[in-house]
Amino acid sequence: MLWVRTTLLGLLSTAPVYAGNWPTTQWETSSPEAQGVDARDLADAITYIRVKHLPIHSLLVVRHGVVVLDAYFYPYDQHSLHDIASVTKSVTSILTGIAIDGGYLRDVDQPILSLIPGHAQDAIDASKSKITIGNLLTMTSGLKCGALGGIETAETELAEMRRSADWISYAVNLPMRSDPGTQFAYCSINNHLLSAIITAQTGEGLQSFAQRNLFSPLGIHDVFWPTDPTGLNHGWADLHMHPQDMAKLGYLYLRNGKWEDQQIVSAQWVRQSVSSHVTVRPGIGYGYGWWINLDRDPQIPEAEGRGGQRISIVPDKDAVVVFTSGGANTDEIAPYLLRALRSNIALPQNAKADEALNLSIKAANQPPKPLRVGQLPAIARAVSGREYILEPNPIDLRSIILNFPNGDNAQVSMRFDGQAWTGAIGLDGVYRFSPHGYEDLPMAMRGYWKADNEFSLDVDLVQNITHLFITLRYFNNGAQVVFADSTASVPSFNVAAHVIDTR
């Protein structure tokens, strides 16, 4: 967005102050005009997303402490948790500040090795003794991991860590690339070390510490946060939240760390978090897990995650914007939203614009009309119920079984990344939802025959960013399997499969 990777640099304390609305129980809602927002621009944003088929999953705008836009795009809805990806880093940063405020940690200059019991001896490089909490927060640990350009890519070391039995031991044993504090490298492992530190020093896991000190006071009660093999919550990503709860985190920072009559995290920490501590590249800075656009005035802090997950705080407009997405470039929507925030006082009511906006929101969340399903090709009966074993591939997709009974539905069973998936497939262009997909979260699937011997399967993981497309081209006693992810979060591949007759 035009707000991408930005920060406050003290602007929070000088932004206009409005009467506090605290959405601890639920967000208040308002017509856009009552909060100085033009509904026509918001409706245009929704229309643009739908016409361009942008893979945006939700869009939420808060103005003066009330919700003026809360839109969800099929197959997503307000009941779905969503993977917030590296926005998790900003949450871990908030929790680090709370731990310092509470005396569990001394300050950001505290060296880390003594804070991770049992692992100090793993660090054979003496320079590791100089790595501080602040270095982890600002991606300047000096560990040889991650991307120097500051662009979140597939991190080789992160993948290797996840294949190890003890992730923290792996992290502490990484070689050094540079002296701590001298070079920025986007390395997610830094944030998993923070998870270990907070867990060791507070005596409770990151999620438990967050629930007691951050989530519960804000009225956040429904999250999913995976853990590593030793029980540490992923400090860098994979936290799942509702968009309205993501907005609460942005609103907490908009209000300088205060919630109702409680200072959740110190105002000093908020200011430090959203100040630039390192220049990533010209015009782009990084705070404590928050991105900063150094060329924009006034500056706006953003928590940003892979695939278009974003919390944007707009202090001079007293606004918070939240996106969840499956790989969309949300910059395309920024002009509409910036135009919409027109006035700090109410605009004249516009019933026609409000109705158009409400109709756009409703239409965005509706499934498409079912298509007529014709007669299935003859090969559908031949392959139905047969297990196809895939050759080794980058994501460990081991087998696929498709079943084609008569009607608009099919079924699939897959073994993928050590997990078993079973679910329904809509053959009429409408997703069928199954409750137990990846990480035992819901998934939605639809598919169609592209040719007499070629079936295409569309797998939307719904509460995750990843959107998979699997094409099977059948021949004799085998198949060619083409696998792709529209968000590029997992590698694409093309492999052969052989059949095992399990019927």
> What is the model's pLDDT at position 377?
94
> What is the model's pLDDT at position 9?
38
Q: Which residue has the tokens 């956040």?
A: 220
Decide: helix, strand or coil at residue 434: strand
Q: Which residue has the tokens 């208040």?
A: 28
Beta bridge partners of 449: 455
Pick the closest to residue 8 from 329, 333, 317, 336 (CA basis). 317
User: Rounded to whole angstroms, how far apart are CA atoms 128 and 193?
Assistant: 13
> What is the model's pLDDT at position 421?
86
Decide: helix, strand or coil at residue 496: strand
> What is the model's pLDDT at position 12?
47
**pTM passes above 0.85:** yes
> What is the model's pLDDT at position 152?
52
**Which DSSP letter does residue 37 get?**
B
User: Rounded to whole angstroms, how far apart are CA atoms 462 and 76?
Assistant: 6
Pick the closest to residue 490 from 415, 405, 417, 424 (CA basis). 417
> What is the model's pLDDT at position 15?
42
> What is the model's pLDDT at position 126?
74
> What is the model's pLDDT at position 153?
57
The β-bridge relationship of strands 419-426 and 258-259 is unpaired
**Average pLDDT per consecutive 10 residues, the chain (503 residues; last block may be shorter):** 38 46 94 97 96 95 97 93 96 98 98 85 73 98 84 77 94 94 96 98 98 98 96 97 98 97 98 95 93 83 94 94 93 92 95 96 95 93 94 91 92 86 94 85 92 95 89 93 85 90 64
> What is the model's pLDDT at position 10?
42
**What are the structural domains of the chain?**
1-16+26-78+242-257+268-330 (3.40.710.10), 81-237 (3.40.710.10), 378-500 (2.40.128.20)
